[in-house]
């Protein structure tokens, strides 16, 4: 069969790498892809927001299955467009994707269905929001309502940081219309966990647990990013806690959406804070996490196509999903200046030296070929160096040994991923 994957990051590289192992996949296309993806898939120069061009391509090439990586096309309704044309595509509809595309929708939905989350208030007025912060005190969390590429959440330790975040979102409009509304919520102190499931709207299959590191610097300091590293499994999620997550968060979410006339099919990701062994939802995402995918999929034994087809046909209960007992760990190598302004086109060396290391994978995020055919940087997050090991310690050792061989000017990365578990 022929498969099209939409996206250009490390998550999409990991999805394609896994699909390439399928017994039924003959050809993979990626729109628009990157330098690493081009080694295993044919990259086509179509932007992920050009739905009509993507539909035309799918029809012309007789694509059997389309998989959507990033949140933006999902939020804009790509699933609805493809389904209207009778094309098989994996992901939630525009209505269902609101669980990520609108923080306000997500919070109000959780309130209606009694899903545990932080106390919150919604504001459209800067003055009222400022008054509320003065009333509540700090630390406090401020979120832009809409999509902001993982950078629209501010954990503010004092008034100065809170008012600066509010100013950036509501006055300077750094996230555009995504900042027309803000959600201000109580600060929850605990341990973070990422919990992802496959769902067909009726049945749910959990993925292995993981933990994402959002902050740029070691010891969870510095600004929020799209994610600087991750590992799996996350030891904080015990079997008892997992049962509670499914019973109080995941199942009520799928059921609640169904009650509101929304059948949620695809990947559901809950970003959780574990407080006194109780799970609370920090955010929902309507797709695979990045970089969580880079540690989850290397542990998957079942053919990913079987899972996707079962989601599409609402037969997920007929698939037995198996996982490796190995641990996995991923460290993101980022451009100098990320998550702010950064240079593109910086040459990367050392990739050939790590190519044949057993159980080590380099997933490309922001890369491209320059005019001389050399691989250069083309984004904030550039590479995700990932390894499997018998435990997190072994996976970590493999990853950091490989990182020593990879170089590009200004390369920055965290040194503590998987250290303080």
Query: CA Rg, the chain, in Å?
Result: 21
339 with 363, same domain?
A: yes
CA distance 96 to 186: 26
Torsional class of 173: left (φ above 0), alpha (ψ -120 to 50), beta (otherwise): left
Two tokens at 82? 């493809």
- Contacting residues for 336 by C-beta, under 8 A, at least 6 apart: 342, 343, 409, 410, 411, 412
* Alpha-carbon dihedral angle through residues 305, 308, 314, 318, given to the nearest 10 degrees: 40
- What is the model's pLDDT at position 218? 96
Q: Is residue 86 part of a domain?
A: yes
Two tokens at 412? 């920055």
Pairing of strands 2-7, 65-68: parallel
Last residue within a domain, chosen from 186, 219, 235: 186
Question: Please, which residues bridge with residue 269 across strands?
Answer: 196, 285
Angle at 211 between CA 3 and CA 297, to 5 degrees: 25
Q: Is residue 238 part of a domain?
A: yes
162 with 216, same domain?
A: no
Last residue within a domain, chosen from 318, 347, 367: 318
195 with 251, same domain?
A: yes
- What is the model's pLDDT at position 420? 78
Q: Is residue 414 part of a domain?
A: no
231 with 211, same domain?
A: yes
198 with 179, same domain?
A: no
| Dihedral of alpha carbons 371, 406, 381, 413, sign | negative
- What is the model's pLDDT at position 223? 87
Distant-in-sequence contacts of 23-28, Cβ < 8 A, 24+ apart:
23/303, 24/303, 24/305, 25/1, 25/305, 26/1, 26/2, 27/2, 27/3, 28/2, 28/3, 28/4
CA distance 268 to 287: 6
pLDDT, one tens digit per residue, over 210-265 is 999 999 999 999 988 889 999 999 999 999 999 999 999 999 999 999 999 999 99
Q: Is residue 412 part of a domain?
A: no
202 with 308, same domain?
A: yes
395 with 294, same domain?
A: no
Two tokens at 54? 């993507």
Per-block average pLDDT, block size 10, for the chain (421 residues)?
A: 98 98 98 97 91 96 97 97 97 97 96 97 94 94 87 90 94 91 95 95 97 93 91 96 98 97 97 95 96 98 98 97 98 96 97 95 97 97 98 98 98 95 74
CA distance 214 to 332: 11
- What is the model's pLDDT at position 148? 81
DSSP 8-state symbol, 369: E
195 with 314, same domain?
A: yes
CB atoms near residue 152 (< 10 Å): 24
CA distance 381 to 364: 9
Number of domains in the chain: 4
Angle at 135 between CA 130 and CA 136, to 5 degrees: 100
Determine phi and psi for 70, rounding to 5 degrees. Answer: -80, 165
Q: Is residue 110 part of a domain?
A: no
Domain that holds residue 181: 119-186
313 with 198, same domain?
A: yes
- What is the model's pLDDT at position 82? 98
CA distance 54 to 34: 17
Buried b (16+ CB within 10 A) or exposed e, 130-148: bebbeebebebbbbbbbbb
Last residue within a domain, chosen from 171, 186, 201: 186
177 with 196, same domain?
A: no
Indicate the angle between helix axes 159-166 and 126-136, nearest 10 degrees.
160
Tokens 């965290």 found at: 414
Q: Is residue 222 part of a domain?
A: yes
CA distance 386 to 359: 8
The most distant pair of C-alpha atoms in the chain lies apart, rounded to whole Å, by: 60
| CATH at 397 | 3.90.600.10
| CATH at 157 | 3.30.1490.20
> At 398, is the secondary structure helix, strand, or coil?
helix
Q: Is residue 270 part of a domain?
A: yes
CA distance 167 to 255: 37
- What is the model's pLDDT at position 151? 75
312 with 198, same domain?
A: yes
Burial of 62 (0-12, 13-18, 19+ CB in 10 A): exposed
196 with 276, same domain?
A: yes
Torsional class of 232: left (φ above 0), alpha (ψ -120 to 50), beta (otherwise): beta
| CATH at 52 | 3.40.50.20
Q: Is residue 360 part of a domain?
A: yes
Are 417 and 231 contacting, i.e. CB atoms less than 8 angstroms apart? Answer: yes
For the question of whether the overall pTM of this predicted structure is more than 0.85, the answer is yes
Angle at 310 between CA 304 and CA 311, to 5 degrees: 90
Are 107 and 115 contacting, i.e. CB atoms less than 8 angstroms apart? Answer: no
| CATH at 292 | 3.30.470.20
Peptide bond into 32 cis (omega under 30): yes
Q: What is the 3-state secondary structure (H, E, C) of 258-279?
A: HHCCCCCCEEEEEEEEEECCEE
- Contacting residues for 92 by C-beta, under 8 A, at least 6 apart: 74, 79, 99, 264, 265, 266, 286
């Amino acid at each position: 069969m022929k498969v099209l994957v939409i996206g250009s990051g490390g998550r999409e590289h990991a999805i394609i790498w896994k699909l390439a192992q399928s017994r039924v996949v003959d050809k993979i296309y990626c729109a628009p892809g990157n330098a690493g993806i081009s080694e295993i898939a044919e990259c086509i120069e179509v932007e992920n927001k050009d739905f009509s061009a993507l539909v035309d391509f799918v029809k012309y090439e007789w694509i059997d299955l389309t998989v959507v990586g990033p949140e933006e096309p999902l939020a804009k309704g790509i699933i609805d467009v493809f389904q209207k044309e009778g094309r098989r595509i994996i992901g939630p509809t525009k209505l269902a994707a609101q669980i990520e595309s609108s923080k306000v929708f997500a919070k109000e939905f959780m309130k209606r269905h009694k899903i545990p989350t932080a106390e919150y208030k919604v504001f459209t007025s800067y003055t009222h929001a400022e008054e509320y912060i003065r009333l509540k005190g700090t630390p406090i969390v401020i979120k832009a309502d809409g999509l902001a590429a993982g950078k629209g959440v501010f954990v503010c330790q004092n008034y100065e940081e809170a008012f600066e975040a509010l100013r950036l979102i509501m006055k300077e409009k750094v996230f555009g219309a995504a900042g027309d509304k803000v959600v201000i919520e109580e600060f929850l102190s605990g341990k973070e966990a990422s919990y992802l499931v496959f769902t067909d709207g009726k049945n749910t299959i959990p993925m292995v647990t993981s933990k994402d590191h959002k902050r740029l610097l070691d010891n969870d300091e510095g600004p929020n990013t799209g994610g600087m590293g991750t590992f799996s499994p996350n030891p904080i999620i015990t079997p008892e806690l997992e049962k509670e997550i499914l019973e109080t968060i995941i199942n009520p979410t799928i059921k609640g959406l169904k009650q509101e006339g929304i059948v949620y099919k695809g990947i559901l990701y809950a970003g959780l804070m574990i407080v006194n062994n109780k799970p609370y939802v920090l955010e929902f995402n309507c797709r695979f996490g990045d970089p969580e995918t880079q540690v989850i999929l290397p542990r998957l034994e079942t053919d990913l196509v079987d899972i996707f087809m079962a989601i599409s046909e609402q037969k997920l209960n007929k698939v037995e999903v198996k996982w490796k007992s190995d641990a996995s760990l991923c460290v993101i190598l980022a451009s100098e200046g990320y998550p702010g302004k950064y240079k593109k086109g910086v040459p990367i060396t050392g990739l050939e030296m790590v190519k044949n290391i057993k159980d080590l994978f380099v997933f490309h995020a922001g890369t491209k070929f320059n005019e001389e055919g050399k691989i250069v940087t083309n984004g904030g997050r550039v590479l995700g160096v990932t390894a499997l090991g018998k435990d997190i310690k072994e996976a970590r050792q493999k990853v950091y040994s490989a990182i020593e061989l990879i170089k590009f000017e200004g390369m920055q990365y965290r040194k503590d991923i998987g250290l303080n578990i």
